[in-house]
A and B are shown apart, each in its own frame.
Chain A
Amino acid sequence: MSASTRKILADMYRRKARTLLLISGILVGVFGLISITFTKDILFSAFAYTIESQATQPDITMVVDRLDAGLLPALKAVPNVKAVQFETRVSTLWSIHQAPGYTALKIISYPDLHTPALAPFELISGRYPQAGEIVLEYGDTALAPTAIGDMVRIDTTHGQVQLRVVGMARTAGVDPATSGKAQAYMSADGIRQLDVLTNSNQPNRPARQYMLHYKVEHISQVDMTARDLQTILHSQHISVLVTAFPGPAIVPLSQINGIFTLLIALVILAVLVSAILIFNTVTTLITEQTAIIATMKTLGGTQWQIMRSYLLFIIICSSLATIPGLILGITGGYALASILAPAIPLALGPFILPINLILLGLLVGFGVPILAAILPLWNGTRITIREALSTYGVSTERDNTLLTRFDWRLTWISQTVWMGLRSLFRKRWRAMLTIFMLSIAGTSFLMVQILTTSINYTVGSVFTNFHADIEVDLGPQMTFSSLKHDLARVQHIRVLERYGQGGVTTRWGHLALWGIEPQTRIYHYQLVSGRWLRPEDREVVLISRHFSALTGLAVGDNLSVTNPSNQAINWRIIGIINENVNGLGQMGAAVVPVNTLYQFQGAPAQSVNDAAFRVLLQATDHSATTIQALTQQLGNLAMDATTRGSVERGGGIVNVYLVQDEIMRHQRSWFISYILLYGVATIVGGAAMIGLANELTAAVLERRREIGMLRTLGASSWRVAQVFWVQGLSLGLIAWLPATLLGLPLAYAFLRLFSQFVMPVDFIVDPLAFLLLLLSLLTIATLASIIPLKNAARLHIAELLRYE
């Protein structure tokens, strides 16, 4: 090993803390970039897998009065039919601890549960169920914490039965955590044994449904194929109660991509911070070794020879950081994707080593440090011997006149504090870069803070226009007049109003759809232009301001949509409203008359005026006690009716939600994104913290003589540490201003991008964010000071005065 290599290794070992900080800085950058990029890649490959699995999603679904296995060959023989799947479905209530004490549960069974031809699910833990056992959808655990081995209680016609949970499953397109509707799987025998009603004469009310799913060869001929299938079923005296065309499951690809693009933009900030850290470290190293560089030059060393030896230092640090950074990034990315996938939901494919990302990691891990080091190395090693031997690298001029003036007046401030303040810009460029680095961290924090506040506000605001306390899901055949009759005995109801909720796909993207009574008392609309609904209005729509801005649609234009039966419908836009959305993939919101929505969702035109799929209730007062009492009454009403068996599905009440819970559930569905965003902001903050720690470590090294002098004058460890703590805090404090000035416009731009690619959100700035930003920067400064302060405080006088 050459002497210069040995010198570099010895330098690294001698300044262990600095070497460690530099390695950590590079590691954080590589880790952040690789983990986020890998997470994105995995999710996208899982998405590709899901797209492929669309081949197993049904194109036609029929609800029939009975299933006959003997019909299978005839159905398969219908032209254009690719696959046929029988399904038995039981809709029931699952008793849980949370209010109102139950939740709707859909239990599915296939004759061939292990390998269904269509609509498959993936068993992620446990085993397939036998009779008396059940496999829960993984997302059900968000509604009621349940584990394998637990018992679940479900309603049957004559009381409750208990089923043992033997496994957890994952199904593409099913998200109980957000929808609030549980799903589970049972064996054919098990579901047959459940004592529930089957009423084939009242199509949408039976607890047990028989379904037929079909996959077709050519989607363009799907209508004709459905008719042929109906003909065959009718010829066998099987009644087709409902025919639906489910369409492909929507995975919000561009929105997921949008989130990750924003995350990667933030990670690039972390890489930038790492680069500044390296720049500062190399500058410090070169300054510290000026005399050594001069000696090497007197020994005949050329600039390139000297630079080469310091580049070796960077390459060694890069190697020590990049390799663990890659390993951590890849494993962390896979772990993160594994956590995120079920929530989207997506099924992850097998782990494949990402060669392209490894190359990217190597490029960043080695390229960025070398690039960041080149300038200070070039500059530092260019110094002439005379300059090097005569300089201490410190200006002795006191040009900080403002501070000096304050110094004279503010005599109560200790001199060690002044020492810390005056040494802020002792190394101007390095201090500026440190402030810049902290500003970037602060800016990232502010951007993330504003974005999450805005999302949370937007998601929360969706229900704030509804001055309702409780939402009730009803069976589709439930009439509004009978519901009013049922609820006549229930106390504390001030307003009862029909409404509907759904989604519709337009050529611009997915639109959240609300059906509202024209003369609503519960929905407080905020009209931007045009007019509100009138009782006589049909086939009209009000669109949200965000959607109007995105599409350019205005009052008087037509909005073309397709209903679940594949029919094109045109709605005339009569107004623009302020209305937000709360789900990933929704590009805006629209409001139609409730009757229009019900018809759109399949209610017959002749009975739509009395139809009620969902209702909103406003309590006599908004107190928690009243709302809880009202919820309990509704729950009891539903349970009593079900247990009596006299009224199917509890008088038509399927689910009762507190509106507040609904808001929280939607806000909770964003928590993963918040965690990701704050995670990346933490990575940037971590890199900045390492950078500041490095700056303070350098300051301690450079000022060992001063420390020695302070010690000889009787300074305690705390007084010595105070000098550097003040320096760190002051840098953090100064960084707050550019972070705020830079953060606000960048946060706005960030939000605009988010609104364009992910989901429209309002720009909400919480003044508290600036205080939090300041606290975060001061926390970063304090944490970054710990190691340098300890180092400064434990130096011995003899050692210090011997230095140099």
Chain B
Amino acid sequence: MLNLDKDADYQLPGSPFLQVEHLTRVITARAQKTTLLNDITFTVPTQSLFTINGPSGSGKSTLLNMLTGIDRPTEGSVIFAGQELKAQSENALARWRGRNVGIIFQFFQLIPTLTAIENVLLALELGGGGNLPRQAWRERAQICLSIVDAGSFAQRLPAELSGGQQQRVAIARALANDPPVLITDEPTGNLDSRTAHAIFTTLANLTTQGKTVIYVTHDPQLASLAQARIDLLDGQIVNTHGTKATITSRQEEVHS
């Protein structure tokens, strides 16, 4: 079981960083059961760009929530850096996420009242500061912004930035505590194609700096650029590339 108070160990490139085994998520609403994910199994190699591809409603975001501990599976397990991710308290999970996972959203989710650098500093403040002393945080935040070519607008508010610039700041924020893995949910879904490719490239480059990037997208073209991927449809894996994954059979919604 994963010790949530301990940082994940880094692993050799290519070895499985994250393993998902027989993951199933069923929700019940008004006496109706809906299977969002059905018996999903795959592995994500260390320091790879891994995409989860599929159309709207295929279960991408649900799967992402399972990987980040935001949601809990009905069945199956998520093994993160060799240790099973089983939920403790919300607070313990939050602390774990702060140190081990950088999450990037489609709609950026920047704090509108804070400048770009302050958004990054907030992540450092909440996520433990990446084992750095407090006086080094500002420098660290500036470095993170520079990594994603956002250093020049550090003092601007999100409202003063374009969509692409906001997403760069969001990536910088995700890098703040130097997590081993970045999980992105449609990070380019809200951007034009040119900016989307630029962001994708930025994320892809991060794998060379030791990061594992899990990239959720509905864009097959972008997905095909990744080193490994799975394709989801109606909560099941229908196609795989460069990863050990089990293609499950299609299952209709279960009604009770």
- Give A residues with C-beta under 8 Å from B: 2-4, 6-7, 10-11, 13-14, 291-292, 294-305, 382, 384-386
Contacts and interface: CB of A to CB of B under 8 A. Distances in A.
B70 A386 contact: yes
A301 B70 CA distance: 13
Most chain B beta carbons < 10 A, residue from A11, A292, A298, A386: A298
A134 B57 CA distance: 96
A704 to B, nearest CB: 14
Which 5 A-B pairs give the minimum distances between C-beta atoms? A300-B98, A10-B113, A300-B127, A301-B126, A3-B122
A508 B113 CA distance: 67
A7 B118 CA distance: 9
Contacts of A295: 105, 109-111
Contacts of B118: 3, 6-7
B65 A299 contact: no
Contacts of A382: 90
Contacts of B127: 299-301
Contacts of B98: 299-301
B171 to A, nearest CB: 13
Given A296-B111, A297-B90, A298-B109, 11 more contacts: A3-B124, A7-B111, A7-B113, A13-B113, A14-B113, A298-B103, A299-B126, A302-B126, A382-B90, A385-B65, A386-B71
Given A3-B118, A3-B125, A14-B113, A385 B91 contact: no
Interface string B119-159: 10111111110000000000000000000000000000000
A59 B99 CA distance: 85
Nearest to A294: B109
Given A305-B126, A385-B70, A3 B121 contact: yes
B218 interface: no
Nearest to A382: B90
Chain B interface residue bracket vs A: 20 to 34
Contact of B126 (A10, A11, A296): A296
Given A6-B118, A7-B118, A384 B90 contact: yes
B77 interface: no
B91 to A, nearest CB: 4
Contacts, number: 85
A117 B118 CA distance: 75
Interface of B: 65, 68, 70-71, 90-91, 94-99, 103, 105, 109-114, 118-119, 121-128, 173, 176-177
Contacts of A13: 113
Given A298-B70, A300-B95, A305-B126, A386 B111 contact: no
A91 B122 CA distance: 83
Nearest to B129: A300
A9 to B, nearest CB: 8
Contacts of A298: 68, 70, 97, 103, 109
* Chain B interface, >50% SS class: helix
Contact of B122 (A4, A11, A291, A304): A4
Given A3-B118, A384-B70, A300 B177 contact: yes
A302 B89 CA distance: 10
B95 A302 contact: yes
Given A296-B126, A386-B70, A10 B114 contact: yes
A14 B122 CA distance: 18
Contacts of A301: 94, 98, 126-127
A299 B122 contact: yes
A143 B125 CA distance: 71
Given A300-B94, A300-B95, A291 B114 contact: no
A284 B126 CA distance: 23
17 contacts: A2-B121, A6-B114, A11-B113, A14-B113, A295-B110, A297-B90, A297-B94, A297-B97, A298-B70, A298-B97, A298-B103, A300-B128, A301-B127, A302-B94, A303-B94, A385-B70, A386-B65
A510 B46 CA distance: 93
B235 to A, nearest CB: 17
